Structure 1
């Protein structure tokens, strides 16, 4: 019995937090809706809930995380990379408050933010942090949404404010989920190096 409990505990310790941007659909999740986006062609990032900086724990500057969640040194998820299908998954208006939905499949607390690269040509320096007007599981400092408690999986929504006066035929919305794993006393924020997920989403702003 003790041996079985040890195996169970070890299994819990290895559970990894996973998630992806559900709406508008992230660049690395296009394969999930073939009827909606029939032009998408392989290769696909099949493990799209594990776009997590190569499982390298990140500091607050995300120093070794790829622009769109790749492992350090890789650019597959970036605009122009092998998983970029050039498909717009959301169309909005300048200054609109948009509802973004994230799906957590193994939630380990922490929180997330959204940034916008308001130009057609994506690069590492173009992202601007967006305000979050509200979120299902709480907001801090106007731009940080809490992911909820351990095992609080499923869909969670955040209302994100797009800037006024910004229009683009294609620009990049980026989600960064900073878990609280390894565990931190604050369920919404981990100040130390931690598991981090990133998704980029191709949108249009009229």
Structure 2
């Protein structure tokens, strides 16, 4: 968030949210990891109560809409992405994996929940995701999971291959909100009180059942909803100039012009 201009505590080690490393996750903790990429045994600095978890709502969505997740890999490690959403409704309470698992977000193209990384070259991935039809929240935690697939391993059936068995994992979390599809927040009055108004959800004209929606921000024209995740697993040159093993940033942009 802080890299994108949000009022958040800078985390200069946001390139290390990979469960403390492969050995720590799989050999020490049996595959367990903090929900936002911190080591299982702590400290959990990226969860509620941690110094990097400020409870800032980075984006508002509309119920039963489709959002675009944009993932940029500067070095491919194969594997797959998944996104989960938990209606936590309390920025001071740490989210649980059990809550996140209740809403594994599905791809809008009908191809399930996982997005597989099959290309060998760095690139951006645009992944339309469907929000759960009935879910609304004043504060949801959006979790991104990247399970790499470039290490040699053995699966449960004894098959050995690159990508088999336990792999390195990366996580990121963001606080978002999901409003009822007939609710949009009006610009804040001068006295600081909120003044909600109601209207029909803004959807793309191609469909009426929750296609990509335009988010309405106070004082702004409509903007396309976009989630942006940047990863740099090999520490290659990037705008953040990370040089360690695994570098990534997860954030939800407050506004991007519609394409």
Structure 2 length-normalised TM = 0.56
Query: In the aligned structure 1, how far is the partner of 2:15 from the partner of 2:78?
Result: 16
CA contact (8 A) 1:108 1:149 kept: no
Report Cα offsets for 1:4-58 as digits up to 9, x if no partner: xxxxxxxxxxxxxxxxxxxxxxxxxx12112xx2x32x3x222324321111266
Question: Structure 1: which 5+ runs fail to align?
Answer: 1-29
Secondary structure of residue in 1 paired with 2:74: strand
Say which structure, 1 or 2, has more relative contact order (CA 8 Å, 6+ apart). 1
TM-score (norm 1): 0.70
1:47 to 4, 7, 13: 13
Quick check: which one's helix share is greater?
1
C-alpha displacement of 1:147: 2.2
- Further displaced range: 72-81 or 159-168: 72-81
Based on CA coordinates, which of the two structures has the bigger radius of gyration?
2
Corresponding residue number in structure 2 for 1:155: 124
Structure 1 stretches of at least 4 aligned residues deviating more than 3 Å after TM superposition: none
Residues 89 and 143 of structure 1: CA distance in aligned 2, closer, same or farther (over 3 Å)? same
- Which whole-Å CA distance do the structure 2 matches of 1:86 and 1:166 have between them? 19
Q: CA deviation at 1:89?
A: 1.7
* Root-mean-square deviation (Å): 2.4
Name 2:186's counterpart in structure 1: none
* 1:200 counterpart = 2:173: yes
Shift of 1:191: 4.0
Q: 2:152, 2:164 within 8 Å by CA — same for their partners in 1?
A: no
1:71 to 39, 63, 78: 39
